[in-house]
Homo-oligomer: A and B are copies of this chain.
Amino acid sequence: MAAMLPKLFFVHFRETSFVVEEEGSVVAFLCGFKSQTFDDEAYIHFVGVDPSFRGVGLARSLYERFFEAVAPRSVVRAVTSPRNERSVAFHRALGFEVERIEEDYDGRGESRVLLKRLL
């Protein structure tokens, strides 16, 4: 799982990027940052949880840690694939709302669900 970690975030967005380790191995991580365009917003870019550690609340606890880290910012955004129903449901359970679905969001022919949570 450590091989999936985007190094960039753990160098330049260290205060808003976290890992959970279990016996020395990374079993979950979250990478995010404070928007530099919008002073009141933060963005969660990439989250991973080892399949054998799912269902125990690791992702939720990482999101909550991120919410605390970006305070007093009051808007957190994330995007996910409309095909990833599990991800959409997870975000809803955490208080995110679906703002809209945007075609070709990242310019690569991939639609994205745009998610927003008020803190």
Contacts of A14 in B (CB 8 A): 36-37
Is A92's beta carbon under 8 Å from chain B? no
Chain multiplicity (copies): 2
Q: Check if A107 sits within 8 Å of B33, measured CB to CB.
A: no
Secondary structure type dominating chain A contacts: mixed
Is A8's beta carbon under 8 Å from chain B? yes
Interface size, chain A (Cβ < 8 Å): 27
Contacts of A43 in B (CB 8 A): 8, 12
Q: Check if A107 sits within 8 Å of B36, measured CB to CB.
A: no
Q: Check if B33 sits within 8 Å of A11, measured CB to CB.
A: no
Is A80's beta carbon under 8 Å from chain B? no
Contacts of A107 in B (CB 8 A): 2-5, 7
Taking A14-B37, A33-B36 as given, write out 4 further A-B residue pairs in contact, using a Cβ cutoff of 8 Å, ordered by the A residue number: A2-B107, A4-B107, A5-B107, A34-B36
